[in-house]
Amino acid sequence: MAFERNFTTATTLTSETLVSVAATAATPASNGKGVDMGKKRMRWKAQADEHDYKAASTYLTLLLPDREVKKVVADLRRARTREFAAKDLLRSSQTHLLDENNDKVRETLKDIKKGKAISPVLLVRGDARYGATLTIADGHHRICASWQWDESCPIACCLAELPRATKGRG
């Protein structure tokens, strides 16, 4: 599947890896001297690693009741992988960009440069009507590393809905 915006995306699902390739459209990136900065390629796993779900659960426990955390994590496991630009994820979550010298960002950037597939980011949709931002349940450093690589490249994400508030809940 391919489409054109600021980038072209080709997505292929294999038994182990969802491969997402981002390349600049009509005009390649330049260093200002007319030199092509090279192709931007990122590979994404078809599914997040088990430790990513556990990290998401731990983080979400700080924000939601245990019962809702279990539901959200189950929804994340079932969610189809979708792609969003790093810059949009950072804006909608209102989080800061980690510097490329951050240990986890640097480690992820090395993996990207080596062509290793990385885990999709785990997200919980916010609700702008109520001032609830997107929650990055796991993968903030992967978003930041991807932004450092190419702020417009697509990032593989699993997105779950924020549980609805119910009466009588404390």
CB of 27 closer than 8 Å to CB of 4: no
Domain membership flag for residue 144: yes
Round to whole Å and give the CA distance between 17 and 45. 4
Taking only the tens place, the pLDDT of each residue in 40-56 is: 678 999 999 999 999 99
What pTM was estimated for this model as a whole?
A: 0.75
The boundaries of the domain holding residue 53 are 10-21+41-160
pLDDT at 159 over 60: yes
Pairing of strands 17-24, 41-45: antiparallel
Query: Could you tell me what percent of the chain has a pLDDT over 90?
Result: 62
Kindly state whether residue 35 falls inside one of the protein's structural domains: no
pLDDT of residue 168 exceeding 70 = no
What's residue 46's pLDDT? 94
- Interacting residues of 94 by C-beta distance below 8 A, sequence separation 6+: 133
Please check whether residue 168 lies inside any domain of the structure.
no
Give burial (CB, 10 Å; 0-12/13-18/19+) of 162: middle
pLDDT at 25: 30
Instruction: Record the tokens describing residue 44, joined without a space.
Output: 């994404």
Tally of structural domains, the chain = 1
Select the highest-mean-pLDDT range: 4-8, 11-15, 125-129, 139-143: 139-143
At 127 the pLDDT is 87
Domain membership of residue 36 (yes or no) is no
Domain contains 142: yes
How many helical (H) and strand (E) elements, i.e. helices and strands, does the chain have?
5, 8
Is residue 106 assigned to a domain? Answer: yes
pLDDT score, position 39: 47
